[in-house]
Amino acid sequence: MSEKIFSRASGKEVKANEFTMANVDYAMAHDGTSVLAVRSFKKMGLDKVWDPKRIVIPFDHLTPANTETTADLHHDIREWIAEQGIPNFFDVGEGICHQVLPENGFAMPGKLVVGADSHSCTYGAFGAFGTGVGATDMSEIFASGKLWFKVPETIKVTASGKLGKNVLAKDVTLKVIGTVGAAGATYKAAEFYGDTITDLSMSGRMTLSNMAIEMGGKAGIVPPDKKTFEFLKGRAVEDYEPVYADEDAEYCAEYEIDGANLEPQVARPHQVDNVCDVPEVAGTKVDQVFIGTCTNGRLEDLEVAADFLKGEKVAVRTIVIPASRSIMIEAIRNGIAETLLEAGATLATPGCGPCLGGHMGVIGEGEVCISTANRNFRGRMGTGGQIYLASPATAAASALTGEITDPREV
């Protein structure tokens, strides 16, 4: 799939391990990375970006601004966006970049979508080649619409079998990362196959593709199907042409995941591939529960949390942050927000929240957070904190007890 997407984007046939100059279909930078990208773009001495309509800028990392410095940076970027006439600007409260782009139809099958954020691999859930680059690489795209790439080799991950009750997309994802390892897919694309994957909702597929970078992957691609096309109906911003792997496509490695016998998974501090079954760590005391992020802040995730918390009270502070404004509106309309608030959870502005330790729920020395995010690196949510990564079901079950809890036992 990657060879086909890069061949189209490069205007010539390219194969794995070849270097190519490719035309980027959509380019994303958020409040965190656009600052450096714009600085570097200005240094090139150019006046205008290559194509304002193909640039998307959501503000999500430190929103609403947490300090005066952030407010000033936001201000400068807003000015630049207006100067450049970039129409796809999503200001404070619209949501996390990796939710905002798909919701607004920028992630489409067969497209090359590049973001100045490592979790841009999320767009692979729609059959796109979505990948992250640094801010200065992004400035090259702003200038020319092009960037050089090495076409990656591909690993094939097949997950089969029907998931058990309260075993979710996140558990499949953590199992994949634990199996492949944090560096197991470095500079490779992953393609996901099998009935466990096709059974996932678009939301669940986004959870899976989102974490491809946590095994080093350049991309994590789910072949598009009826669900994908249904999601994109009336949403895709332009025509698209899906690509699929050939029957005899070559993979550099293959992995099998047993979905039918999968238990709820958790990644222990401080590495994402430090994965085990939830029962192994059940009973670990937690100080905070965080449900949100580009990995698990979608409606389906909040719904799962609300199912656990309905009519109950949380035992520890619980922060819930919808991934986008439209998810928050939906959660208010259908009563999920009320259920969560009545249970004692805190609801905050759509955005990254405390995911990378900026604000809105950083943790203190020795504190433990169970989070639905994608990274548990040392110090990420606070210098002396410990992060366990889990599904929204495991996180919500743990909110009820104040300790890591198997969601099948609540």
Ligand X SMILES: CC(C)[C@H](C(=O)O)[C@@H](O)C(=O)O
**Binding-site annotation, residues:** 294, 352, 355
Residue 373 site contact among ligand X, ligand SF4, none (CB < 5 to 8 Å, cut-off depends on kind): ligand SF4
Binding ligand SF4 (rule: CB under 6 A), the pick from 101, 306, 373, 381 is 373
Q: How far is the CB of 241 from ligand X (least distance, A)?
A: 29
- Among positions 332-361, residues that touch ligand X (CB under 6 A) are 356
Q: How far is the CB of 1 from ligand X (least distance, A)?
A: 23
Query: Cβ closer to ligand X: 3 or 117?
Result: 117
- Of 163, 165, 162, 160, whose CA–CA distance to 192 is shortest? 160
Q: How far is the CB of 38 from ligand X (least distance, A)?
A: 15
Which residues have a Cβ under 8 Å from the Cβ of 401 and sit 6 or more positions away?
315, 410
Q: How far is the CB of 65 from ligand X (least distance, A)?
A: 15
Binding ligand SF4 (rule: CB under 6 A), the pick from 314, 337, 352, 396 is 352
DSSP annotation of 260: T
Residue 33 site contact among ligand SF4, ligand X, none (CB < 5 to 8 Å, cut-off depends on kind): ligand X
Containing 230, the helix (H) or strand (E) segment is helix 226-232
Q: How far apart are CA 65 and CA 355, in angstroms?
A: 15
32 binds ligand X (CB under 6 A): yes
SS (H, E, C) 295-307: HHCCHHHHHHHHH
Write the DSSP string, 61-109. TT-S--SHHHHHHHHHHHHHHHHHT-SEEE-TTSB-HHHHHHHTT---T
Residue 392 site contact among ligand X, ligand SF4, none (CB < 5 to 8 Å, cut-off depends on kind): none
Q: How far is the CB of 117 from ligand X (least distance, A)?
A: 4
Residue 54 site contact among ligand SF4, ligand X, none (CB < 5 to 8 Å, cut-off depends on kind): none
- Among positions 270-299, residues that touch ligand SF4 (CB under 6 A) are 293-294
Query: Cβ closer to ligand X: 196 or 376?
Result: 376
Residue 96 site contact among ligand SF4, ligand X, none (CB < 5 to 8 Å, cut-off depends on kind): ligand SF4
SS (H, E, C) 131-197: EECCHHHHHHHHHHCEEEEECCEEEEEEEECCCCCCCCHHHHHHHHHHHHCCCCCCCEEEEEECHHH
Q: How far apart are CA 241 and CA 239, in angstroms?
A: 7
- Of 341, 344, 316, 319, whose CA–CA distance to 331 is shortest? 341
CA-based angle 90:170:306, to the nearest 5?
75
Q: Which residues bind ligand SF4 (CB under 6 A)?
A: 61, 96, 98, 117, 119, 293-294, 352, 355-356, 373-374
Q: Which residues bind ligand X (CB under 6 A)?
A: 32-33, 61, 117-119, 132, 356
